[in-house]
Structure 1
Amino acid sequence: MRGNHSAAFVCAALVVFGAGNALATDEDGGEDAVQWSGEVEASASATTGNTENTQLGLKAKFKRQAGRFIHVLAGNVNYAEQVAHDEEGKEFAKRTQDRWMASYQIDAQLRDRTHGYVRAQYDEDQFSGFNKRWFVGVGLGQDVIANEQVTWSVEAGPGYRWSELADTPSIPGAPRARHEFAAYADSDFNLQLRENVSVEQNANVTYADSNTTYDTAVGLKTKLTETLSSKVSYQVKYETDPPDGRENKDTMLKASLLLGF
């Protein structure tokens, strides 16, 4: 795979970091013990014959709860390449997807179902026209529904976004960076259909004057064992004003295996 090695390194570091700290959790089980939980999701596919494609996906999310504070560390990588041929008929690997993201959020419980948060996120997507993007924000969250069958939580608040745009040959002299105030909102919904089957839906939006990003995913998750699950998911990412004639919408359908603790 001739992809972005830093992307793979970041997600691998997340997996090692989360797993290592989970194993190091206090064993006394007292009230002051640090509680860790997490989930690692992996997907891969390959085709040969008339077309040769390789697709890899890795997603990790870890939570550390200490008192009324919850630390959430997350990251994901999606990479794809296909074998193409040049004018002389020689084969070469052509990247068709190279996207990764890492985020850190700390929640502070304010009331029974209300929390405040501070969030930082960094992402790269070489094919969207946004080479690099940072977002830092604060806000409030609310657990709207919380029972054994249905959970639904929402978050929202202001922030600041910095974006580095790809080269724009069609517009000479166009700015390659955007600095602007932004707003972030997130909705996380889970419905337990049966004992081992659930529907998960996450939607978030980052609003800014120059461009707004919508990212939503829905998945059907089936628990196979205490720690292993399978999931089929569909994701849509939409940019209202992508640079240099890029497409507004990206979609992804994938089947994954998940390891949780």
Structure 2
Amino acid sequence: MTGAAGLSYSDGNSESVAYSVQVLASHLDDKNETYLGADYFYAEDGGATSTDRYKFFAQQNRRLNERWHVGGFGSWSRDDIAGLDRRIEGNILLGYRILDSERATLVIEGGPGYAWEKQGGISRDFATFRLAERFEYRFTETTKLWQSLSWTPKVKDPSDNLIHFELGLETRLTDRWALRTFVQHRTDTSPAPGRGRTDTSFIAGVAYDLGGLGDPEEGGGRRSLFPGEEEDAPKKEGWASTAAIGFSLNKGNADSMGAKLDWNTAYRSADCEFFFDLSHHYAENNGSTSQDRTSSRVQFNRYLSERFYVGPSIRYLRDGAADIDYRVAPTVVAGYSLIKNDATRLALEFGPSYTFEKVGRRTRDYASLVAAERFSHTFNSRVSLEQAVVYTSELSDFDNFDITATAALDTRLSGRMYLRVGAEYAYENRPAALREHHDLGLFSSVAVKF
């Protein structure tokens, strides 16, 4: 049995929330396959509900031989935004396995059925036909891709039909926990009056498998399915860069879109460090820009001893939602590494700065003070975490300050590709007029490290 939950959230100058809950229970043996599942999706944009749908389904298959099976499928669904009060359907199915290997499976199935629904206040029932396809591919024992497509037309009028499509990627964090990212698309060719024909959602979250993933065989067995594949050890010194892109989408009866781009370059040696970070986050809700934030940092650290370092740094910020046209802060940093080993680094930084900014159409410059905490930890060759908190205050007025906090968890998918999930928080003690004090966002991205 597997349970999965996804969350996308932003608060402050832009407000949106989306979450999903999925449960799938399955039982497989030589002759029978049983699946029971439930999906729930909910989203708000600017305080207005944009998605609110749920579905329960069950399927029982009986294998006739290695390729063929017969079975039955039933479901109950509701979609408030699409005006669907209920839809109950059942089908008798005949299926065939085109692919059935350790790495890949591809199944097609189809059969007649019947549906009862109430949509837009109108009840109707009719004969249907279901045609479905399911595909799964395992890159490694810990990372898989899945895809499914179903088409359910009305027998008397095939142009009146429902199409469901799903594509997803899952990678294991532990033997039970996994990260999951997927896109769902639904087309209803006969929607309720005043409602759209299509809905598309992009969701990222975590999954928990009660069955777990077995350990590799004793004697040094690998979890990778690729012969001879070994995982590269993370770099301890030298140059390392990461490019990451994240995307979220809800389209149809409600429209929202978000994109996040990140670039991180680091150089480490025994006596110095260099960092360059660049991030851009853009989002729209129903055609209006809700987030447009760009931030960057360049920093050089020179170690005077094994743990103590000094160096210059400069930070840049532009945030359209917070009405910050620009904020530039060159800083002289003194830092101390409380923890510094191959797996974990924890450093505290402190230093004088000077801030140039234009906030709420007001241009200012002033002496300031910066304090920061930076943490990174490599759990193993597949999973790593980075986190930072930066505080900046005007020297002559400590009530004028801002705080930024970030955290990101990277999980290896395969080779140099990673799945990144994280959070960003920004607080302005004196925001621009009519702006909120804080902004909070959760995100997921696909990253490439080189």
Match in the other structure for 1:44: 247
2:282 to 79, 83, 90: 79
2:389 to 203, 207, 219: 203
Deviates more, 1:140-149 or 1:49-58: 140-149
Shift of 1:66: 7.3
Deviates more, 1:136-145 or 1:196-205: 196-205
Match in the other structure for 1:237: 426
Q: 1:246 corresponds to which letter in structure 2?
A: R
Distance 1:222 1:116 in 2: 32
Shift of 1:114: 1.6
Distance 1:115 1:194 in 2: 27
Deviates more, 1:57-66 or 1:70-79: 57-66
Distance 1:39 1:155 in 2: 24
Distance 1:182 1:192 in 2: 33
Q: Check whether the contact 1:211–1:242 (CA below 8 A) recurs between aligned residues.
A: no
| Secondary structure in structure 1 of the residue aligned to 2:434 | coil
Shift of 1:148: 3.9
Match in the other structure for 2:407: 218
Match in the other structure for 1:227: 416
Distance 1:67 1:153 in 2: 16
Distance 2:367 2:439 in 1: 25
Distance 2:296 2:321 in 1: 18
In the alignment, structure 1 residue 94 sits paired with structure 2 residue 288? yes
Q: 1:38 corresponds to which letter in structure 2?
A: S
Q: How does 1:10-21 map to 2 (within 5 A)?
A: none
Unaligned 5+ segments in structure 2 are 1-236
Shift of 1:78: 0.4
Output the aligned Cα RMSD.
2.1
Distance 1:47 1:71 in 2: 39
Match in the other structure for 2:375: 189
Q: 2:433 corresponds to which letter in structure 1?
A: D
Distance 2:381 2:297 in 1: 31
After superposition, the C-alpha distances for 1:115-162 in whole angstroms (9 at most, x for unaligned) are: 111011221111112211110110211211123443212211110011
TM-score, normalisation: structure 2: 0.44
2:324 to 116, 121, 130: 130
Shift of 1:248: 0.4
Match in the other structure for 2:437: 248
Distance 2:268 2:381 in 1: 26
Q: Check whether the contact 1:58–1:76 (CA below 8 A) recurs between aligned residues.
A: yes
Distance 2:273 2:340 in 1: 17
In the alignment, structure 1 residue 158 sits paired with structure 2 residue 352? yes
2:297 to 95, 103, 124: 103
Q: Check whether the contact 1:152–1:190 (CA below 8 A) recurs between aligned residues.
A: yes
Distance 1:108 1:149 in 2: 21
Q: 1:108 corresponds to which letter in structure 2?
A: R
| Secondary structure in structure 2 of the residue aligned to 1:224 | strand
Distance 1:221 1:151 in 2: 16
Shift of 1:256: 1.2
Greater fraction strand: 2
Match in the other structure for 1:21: none
Unaligned 5+ segments in structure 1 are 1-33, 84-92, 168-175
Higher Rg: 2
1:131/1:82 Cα in 2 relative to 1: closer, same or farther (>3 Å)? Answer: same
TM-score, normalisation: structure 1: 0.74
1:192/1:120 Cα in 2 relative to 1: closer, same or farther (>3 Å)? Answer: closer
Deviates more, 1:190-199 or 1:238-247: 190-199
Deviates more, 1:219-228 or 1:136-145: 219-228
Greater relative contact order (Cα < 8 A, sep 6+)? 1
Q: 1:248 corresponds to which letter in structure 2?
A: H
| Secondary structure in structure 1 of the residue aligned to 2:321 | coil
